[in-house]
Amino acid sequence: MQHSFAHASLVVCNRHLKDNVIRQLDAVMGSRCTLRKAVVVRLFGDDGVATCTDVIAFDDAVDRFRRETSAEADPDIKQYIENRIIVLLRQNTAAGKAGWTNNNSESINHVLKQVVQWRSQKLPEPVSKLRTLVDAQFIEADRAMCGRGDYSLVPSHAKFRLTVDAWKVMSSKQRSKAANACFRFLTVPCATSSDSTTPGAGKKPQQRKCKRTAKTLTTQSTQSVGLGAQCE
């Protein structure tokens, strides 16, 4: 993966890392060891190392973990945590994916296996089945907007809720527009200015650039011509 995607940030599943640590600790210390429980809590608890959302807080949490917990651990366990677990957790944090799990990936993988009944497929048969599965997901998303089906909108998207009667009278284009407004990811600003404001906050929606400078005229008694940047 690193060879093919040299500039990508690779992340690992937090749940699997925790399971690996528990398995190693149980093999060396036993499942009832007090230190074993402390190590797991310090690394993966509610306030553990894995919950840090930036590298500064992460490094500070790791220092506390080393002073208060790992100092008493078995040398092999200490080396495993330092050289493997902490390195991978820090990569997750640096990539902005602290606490990430591949639960969603494994879930849809199971769904795909169910669709093909765990049998090898030849093209284009699996492509057709994947298309059918994706179409079904879009239908479920539309049903959620109307308050029907197995899913519901999260509170932050409640404003996109539609009644069934309103959905019935909408055209295909209107339905597509409503779905895009609800489910399309918004662009997140990648930086802020020194005074904590967002760059380009004064731009209109979808604006990408300004027009070239244009003349503007005043209505004062002595008319003057000024130059101003007129933005779309």
| Triad 164, 166, 169: Cα angle to 5° | 110
Rounded to whole angstroms, how far apart are CA atoms 35 and 30? 10
pLDDT at 209: 55
- DSSP character for 134? H
Identify which of 87, 104, 85 has the alpha carbon closest to the alpha carbon of residue 44. Answer: 85
What are 44-70's pLDDT values in tens digits?
Answer: 999 999 999 999 999 999 999 999 888
Does pLDDT of 210 surpass 70?
no
- Grouping H, G, I as helix, E, B as strand and the rest as coil, residue 216 is strand
Average pLDDT for 128-143: 92
> What mean pLDDT is predicted for residues 141-168?
93
Q: What percent of the chain has pLDDT over 90?
A: 59
Q: Which residue has the higher pLDDT, 212 or 190?
A: 212
Q: How buried is 145 (Cβ within 10 angstroms: 0-12 exposed, 13-18 middle, 19+ buried)?
A: buried
Taking phi over 0 as left and psi of -120 to 50 as alpha, with beta for the rest, 118 belongs to: left
Please report the pLDDT score of residue 27 as a whole number: 92
pTM above 0.85, yes or no: no
3-class secondary structure, 210: strand
CB 145 within 8 A of CB 179: yes
Q: Which of 64, 69, 63, 9 is nearest to 37 (CA)?
A: 69
Parse the chain into domains and list their residue ranges: 14-94, 105-183
More confident site: 117 or 189: 117
Least confident of 21-30, 143-152, 196-205, 217-226: 217-226
String of b and e for 92-118 (b: at least 16 CB within 10 Å)? Answer: bbeeebbebbeeeeeeeeeeeeeeeee
User: Tokens 């820090």 belong to which residue?
Assistant: 90
Is the model's pLDDT at 189 over the cut of 50? Answer: no
pLDDT tens digit sequence for 16-26:
999 999 999 99
Structure tokens at 216: 């503007």
- Give the pLDDT of residue 69: 87
Mean pLDDT of the chain: 83
At residue 121, does pLDDT exceed 90?
no
> Mean pLDDT across the stretch 96-119?
92
Which helix (H) or strand (E) segment holds residue 214: the answer is: strand 214-217
Percent above pLDDT 70 for the chain: 79
